[in-house]
Amino acid sequence: MEDALFNIAPVIDVVAKERHNDKKRVGDRIKAFIFDEQHLIYYLSTQGKTSLKDEVHIILADKDVGKPVGEHGGELADFIYYNIRCAQAHDAEIDYDLIDFGRNFGIGRQKFEGDGGELAPGVFIISNATILALILSVICAPENRRIKLHDDITLYDKVQLDKNEIVGNKKYLMTKLHQLFKVDS
């Protein structure tokens, strides 16, 4: 899944540029796109246990460290932009001192029982579900209605996403995620 981040980051750049073409700076566009999609990202990362209200800002903070993440601010969009996208684009690597990869679910400091051990102070989870959510946010972005998928997508061997329905259709994706986590919509 970590390798998928290297492939999805440039695509996020393209979609963010199309969606937020009024913003001149790359970072502003990408962070705005991630903010737009944070409901999906957080919902999938928390197995449907957390649904965000519109315009809620997710702040990643660690009480053991006592300040927001990194030098660039503590919002989820900042964290993904600076510690994943920029780290890849500028350093060709991700800072493993800040990110805990490999858990199936979880995001930030929120982890799920039985899915990995304790987190070191200042380390934040980017789970497989978080990475999948980033990929799905690009696929279901209305800016990508023109793309074609070759196969259907099956999530966790439980819910199948129709390739003809998911492209550019976030409402369809959220309906399927509600089915996956058995949440009434």
Please write the tens of the pLDDT for every residue from 138-162.
999 999 888 888 899 999 999 999 9
Q: How far is CA 33 from CA 26, 110, 115, in A?
A: 11, 22, 29
Both ends of the chain: CA-CA distance in Å? 28
Rama region for 6: left / alpha / beta (φ>0; ψ in -120 to 50; rest):
alpha
pLDDT tens digit sequence for 35-56: 999 999 999 999 998 888 777 8
| Residue ranges of domains in the chain | 2-180
Measured CA to CA, the distance from residue 55 to residue 53 in angstroms comes to 6
pLDDT per residue over 8-40, tens digit each? 888 999 999 999 999 999 999 999 999 999 999
Q: By C-alpha distance, which of 171, 184, 25, 42 is closest to 107?
A: 42
Token pair of 56 as six digits = 């809620």
